[in-house]
């Protein structure tokens, strides 16, 4: 019964919001409703820029990727969401498989977003690139000691690692990429090696970096842009980036991206938002007005400039694993992490 009451409550809430949306539309106001798992202040500025240019108001609802995916499913045709924005490719793939996106025929998006960074059926589009890699304290670690994610299972790193918990989507996607590259048996062996090294599990990339800088651990794995943020605040921040797996498959890549929901009431506005976000001089700008620039991510549009701090990290070799594979192996990664006691 509690679940039933919750579903009824959600349905009533969605109906009320939907009614409000229709009322606003009748008054001629232009808007687009976005469900987003991004939680960065820079995104707010980006939406302000979009509204100033187009007159289309962005109405934002935030939550975790999994929570918003569940919400979209439960709301069904009554959802007020026009766009679902996720920080993880695997969640975008699952949303597409569940029929929560509609395919978009947009020459602009096809031109701006490389084929490798969008859904094969154009149901979702990557809008910024995030690389999850090794980070270290240069007073404690010589970079010659570092090489791959797999090598962090070596006993020499016992008591020296800081990692994100198994439940976080960043960990799940990294392990999914390892299953795709190594096979499930070898990937599990690596994860068990991480566990044997007794890592500190910290549910914040920023706090992992701060812990490394303070000497609480020597090496960690984080998304590159967290380092960029801290460098912007303090260029002498005492943590360095090491691009993982450069001698083989390359560093793990994920994307933040979005799709137009299957039941979007403001479909055209939703498409305009995605096109604007993919534009090299607008949503892909290198400053705070752009999606990747404001959060120190790499753009998806090859014509877009790269934020100067991120450019200083160099140009790494990137794992060219098809992004759809992250969704394919997501459940296997969750099961593996559980078996390994992570």
Average pLDDT, the chain: 91
Residue 206 near residue 135, CB atoms below 8 Å: no
Let me know whether 111 and 46 are in one domain. Answer: yes
Q: Tell me whether residue 316 is in a domain.
A: no
For CA atoms 90, 95, 96, 102, the dihedral sign is: negative
Question: Rounded to 10 degrees, what is the CA torsion of 84, 71, 65, 49?
Answer: 40
Say whether both 136 and 69 belong to one domain: no
User: Which ranges constitute the DSSP H helices of the chain?
Assistant: 2-26, 41-54, 65-75, 89-97, 107-112, 169-182, 184-196, 205-213, 224-233, 267-278, 291-294, 308-311, 324-328, 330-339
Q: What are the tens digits of pLDDT across the range 41-92?
A: 556 788 999 999 999 999 999 998 889 999 999 999 999 999 999 988 889 9
Please check whether residues 197 and 292 belong to one and the same domain. no
C-alpha gyration radius of the chain: 20
- Tell me the C-alpha to C-alpha distance, in Å, between residue 190 and each of 44, 45, 87, 110, 197: 39, 41, 25, 38, 11
Q: Residue 44's domain spans which residues?
A: 2-129+255-306
> Which of 23-27, 40-44, 208-212 has the highest mean predicted lDDT (pLDDT)?
208-212
Closest CA to 92 of 72, 114, 111: 72
Do residue 124 and residue 31 come from a single domain? yes
Residues 29 and 145 in one domain: no
The predicted pLDDT at position 254 comes to: 93
pLDDT of 29: 75
Question: What pTM was estimated for this model as a whole?
Answer: 0.86
Residues 212 and 299 in one domain: no
Percent of the chain clearing pLDDT 90 (strictly above): 81
Residue 178 lies in a domain: yes
Tell me what pLDDT residue 43 has. Answer: 64
At 247-285, the pLDDT tens digits run 999 999 999 999 999 999 999 999 999 999 999 999 999
| Domain-embedded: residue 312 | no
The tokens describing 209, both together, are 């970096």
Tell me the CATH number at 290: 3.40.190.10
Confidence at 28, pLDDT banded by 50, 70, 90: low
Query: Do 273 and 331 belong to one domain?
Result: no
317 pLDDT above the threshold of 70: yes
55 domain residue, yes or no? yes
91-139 confidence digits (pLDDT tens): 999 999 999 999 999 999 999 999 999 999 999 999 999 999 999 999 9
Note the pLDDT of residue 6.
42
Q: How many domains are contained in the chain? A: 2
**How many other CB atoms are there within 10 angstroms of residue 116's CB atom?**
14
Amino acid 17: pLDDT: 45
Residues 128-173 pLDDT 10s: 999 999 999 999 999 999 999 999 999 999 999 999 999 998 999 9
175 and 200 together in one domain: yes
**Is 175 buried (19+), middle (13-18) or exposed (0-12) by CB count in 10 A?**
buried
Mean pLDDT value across residues 7-30: 48
Distance, in Å, from the CA atom of 287 to the CA atom of 90, rounded to the nearest integer, reads 27
Report if residue 13 sits inside a domain: yes
Angle at 283 between CA 281 and CA 287, to 5 degrees: 75
The pLDDT of residue 105: 96
């Amino acid at each position: 019964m509690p679940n039933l009451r919750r579903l009824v409550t959600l349905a009533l809430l969605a109906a009320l919001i939907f009614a409000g949306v229709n009322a606003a539309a009748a008054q001629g106001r232009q808007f687009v409703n976005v469900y987003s798992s991004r939680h960065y202040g820079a995104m707010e500025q980006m939406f302000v820029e979009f509204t100033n240019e187009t007159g289309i108001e962005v109405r934002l609802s935030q939550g975790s990727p999994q929570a918003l995916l569940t919400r979209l499913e439960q709301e069904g045709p009554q959802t007020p969401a026009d766009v679902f924005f996720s920080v993880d490719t695997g969640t975008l793939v699952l949303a597409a498989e569940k029929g929560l996106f509609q395919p978009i025929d947009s020459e602009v998006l096809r031109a701006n977003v490389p084929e490798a960074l969008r859904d094969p059926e154009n149901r979702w589009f990557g809008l910024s690139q995030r690389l999850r890699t090794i980070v270290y304290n240069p007073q404690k670690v010589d970079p010659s000691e570092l090489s791959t994610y797999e090598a962090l299972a070596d006993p020499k790193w016992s008591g020296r690692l800081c990692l994100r918990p198994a439940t976080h989507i960043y960990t799940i996607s990294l392990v999914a990429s390892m299953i795709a590259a190594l096979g499930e048996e070898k990937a599990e062996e690596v994860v068990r090696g991480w566990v044997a090294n007794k890592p500190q599990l910290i549910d914040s990339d920023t706090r992992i970096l701060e812990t490394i800088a303070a000497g609480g651990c020597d090496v960690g794995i984080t998304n590159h842009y967290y380092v960029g943020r801290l460098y912007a605040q303090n260029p002498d921040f005492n943590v360095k980036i090491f691009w993982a797996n450069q001698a083989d498959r390359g560093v793990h890549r994920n994307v933040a991206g979005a799709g137009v929901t299957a039941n979007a009431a403001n479909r055209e506005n939703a498409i305009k938002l995605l096109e604007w976000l993919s534009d090299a001089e607008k949503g892909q700008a290198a400053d705070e007005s752009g999606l990747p620039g404001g959060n120190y991510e790499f753009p998806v549009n090859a014509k877009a400039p790269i934020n100067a701090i991120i450019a200083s990290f160099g140009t790494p070799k990137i794992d060219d694993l098809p992004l759809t594979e992250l969704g394919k192996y997501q459940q296997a990664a969750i099961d593996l992490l559980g078996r390994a006691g992570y």
